[in-house]
Structure 1
């Protein structure tokens, strides 16, 4: 067998593969003889079928299968040995006069080659890296939420400013009949607040659904209807009051601290506020880092210029999916995926140039950290190292999980690279400012 490469241009090449009879004949004959030993054909004893009949029935299929195996194995070996960085897979060229009855065969495969380029991490225009801080107002609000959450309900006779009202929403025409808790602090409509204040158990109040709540997501759950149905809903509903409660905030004492943070970990309101600040800013860091990762990715795609073997890739996309695509469909698919493909090439270049690797031990530690954070959500704040090792072992036994965790860990390594090498400017903001700047 002989393989040669014809370079068409910097991004395209053709591999020519010549297969001689001696490359496949011995293997094909052995398979046919094995077929003969086990063939059950009427009129012949097992193992006594003439080899000519076996060759006539199975010879072409065995030949095609073995030649294709030779092609696959040797093409992969050639690409590896020659260190050819290809995009997609080699595409066989159409050969109209191909003859399987010949002794020798010649095949041609189109190659799409990865471009050569440099990645300018130090872009001219600096990229904003947000440092999100938990300000005093945010910490005050969080402390109040905690105190209310762990406080006790005190029954009241009439509705007041910050009460929680248990009752039933009804609208016969819209088939609404749902028990819910209504918190005055979450109501946006001033008319609704005025209508509810001073009302007693047994009273019924008519409320308009449009603009009722400060947050739109509250309406469907309160009325017991699907989210799609609640969108732009503008009707009147009756709300019959069944119970009125005021939530008396919990005291900031050691019992509450232990319940929230574990025994003895927090011993004062000052400690609690510092813990809330640290935990909040750790969460904000994740959002800030994701924003930075997205922004650097976009900037690198914008500033890293290179050509792609576009026509080859479109042709490859026509044949690579579950079902063949038309030329128009492949063109649309290329337009949808081009940006992602460009970043894959950029990312691969950065990983290679900066020696970013993932060792099994660090992947295991990364998995344990992920498991530890999940367990903490269910109140298991100090799991045993042995338990973490066992769970991590099971997780890393799943190849899909290994792939997912490896991608996350590599993203962290790239993020660290960007923090060290990219042109960044730090901007300190509180969370509300961050949301306003990033999402408008």
Structure 2
């Protein structure tokens, strides 16, 4: 549940009108109120008369010339529906204006109260709306330390990336016979499980010497039988190689035939100036040390993004846990029944509220932090942020220095898409909040490798 305070259905887009009707608010408690709007004939009669006069000028009714239809007939045919339309317009405009002028911080939309005795046959009307009021609270940013990770690129990770680069830019040499470090391409088949999948893998990716021995020494056209259970050290590799589902990969225990179709080995590229220039045309890397420094810098930039996301998640949990306030629970559950495209039952609304309450609480906390600390962004900032993404993408396609006019045009097209603009806005605001939190909260900082970060935060062992 994303709950916009002062919801768009009651946005302050009213026209400047001299409303005469009487509007009053009665507080039920600190989180609930009722607004009563009284409308009398003088509030809408003039507008209704004008519209009916316009109808009279254009109405085509058999037996009467255009413009000469008796007003009584026009009133009888159109009067009630026009009056209802004008009262409803007046009601929403006046309610919008009242909420803004009174600076009421509401949650959800005003909910109309049912009046069993209501009748459109009257000339004066009373409407009542229930309001859910946003709670008042303070946010203590320094009461509890938050876990923060500083992810470093280890020597092991850097060496592995150097080897990957050498393999990617190396020469592929066809082999007659498969060896331990050979790349083998072939087709796995098991009729019972409907497996028929072509795949490429390193012989030493197989788990256990028994499986390796079955492939070492094979030639193109040879067929070997393998067991899927513990075939690879990582079950996710089996999922990719055999094209089975994630759940199947973990428990798959069948025999498959593998027909060898290609055998080759990659001769690693030399770490020389030719390779450095292929990787970094700007000449920023001239030695192996430079390359390793660059790998470390780029890796830790990417790690920082993940560390910042984890930090934001931890801050969210901490603030929600330590910022106490009540919500108009019953009102919000009632509002949820009609807020979406599909109407919910009372039970479904309760379940939806419980599922989304934590998100709503953080939304209110975040809004207060932004308001109290004047954290906001304007269109120029959003445009610059979008242009940054565009520059990165264009550089990947060889255009490292696009013209500013071109960037402005592309950014304008992207931001004209509401979904894309909202996505970029959320990303930029998250960055601003992370920067704010780093400067205003207490942290328990821990330096870890990327593998240990993944294991500790997501309980996944990448080693």
> Is TM (by shorter chain) over 0.5?
yes
Correspondence for 1:119 among 125, 129, 139? 139
Correspondence for 1:359 among 371, 378, 386? 378
- For residues 311-353 of structure 1, the C-alpha deviation after alignment (integer angstroms, 9 at most, x for no partner) is 1111111122223222111111111111111111001000000
Q: Which moved more, 1:107-116 or 1:26-35?
A: 26-35
Q: Which moved more, 1:36-45 or 1:135-144?
A: 36-45
Matched residues in 1 for 2:192 and 2:435: separation?
A: 58
Determine whether 1:275 maps to 2:294: yes
Q: Which moved more, 1:259-268 or 1:225-234?
A: 225-234
Q: What aligned pairs does 1:376-415 form with structure 2 within 5 A after superposition?
A: 376-415=395-434
1:212 maps to 231
Instruction: For residue 395 of structure 1, report the CA deviation from its aligned partner.
Output: 1.6
The alpha-carbon distance between structure 1 residues 406 and 195, as it changes in their structure 2 partners (threshold 3 A), is same
Q: What aligned pairs does 1:122-137 form with structure 2 within 5 A after superposition?
A: 122-124=142-144, 126-137=145-156
Q: What aligned pairs does 1:307-346 form with structure 2 within 5 A after superposition?
A: 307-346=326-365
Does structure 1 conserve the Cα–Cα contact (< 8 Å) formed by 2:140 and 2:323? yes
Q: What aligned pairs does 1:108-187 form with structure 2 within 5 A after superposition?
A: 108-124=128-144, 126-187=145-206
DSSP-derived class of the 1:217 partner = helix
Instruction: For residue 379 of structure 1, report the CA deviation from its aligned partner.
Output: 4.3
Q: What TM-score does the superposition give when structure 2 sets the normalisation length? A: 0.90
Matched residues in 2 for 1:264 and 1:297: separation?
A: 43
DSSP-derived class of the 1:101 partner = coil
1:253 maps to 272
1:286 maps to 305
Correspondence for 1:420 among 431, 439, 451? 439
DSSP-derived class of the 2:317 partner = helix
Structure 1 runs not aligned, ≥5 long: none
Correspondence for 1:21 among 24, 28, 41? 41
Instruction: For residue 373 of structure 1, report the CA deviation from its aligned partner.
Output: 2.5
Instruction: For residue 248 of structure 1, report the CA deviation from its aligned partner.
Output: 0.6
2:215 maps to 196
2:51 maps to 31
Correspondence for 2:322 among 303, 315, 318? 303
Q: Which moved more, 1:399-408 or 1:40-49?
A: 40-49
Matched residues in 2 for 1:190 and 1:290: separation?
A: 41
Q: What TM-score does the superposition give when structure 1 sets the normalisation length? A: 0.95
Matched residues in 2 for 1:229 and 1:436: separation?
A: 23
Structure 2 runs not aligned, ≥5 long: 1-20
Aligned-residue CA RMSD in angstroms? 1.8
- For residues 392-431 of structure 1, the C-alpha deviation after alignment (integer angstroms, 9 at most, x for no partner) is 1222222332222222111111111110111112211111
1:59 maps to 79
- Count of residues in correspondence between the two structures: 439
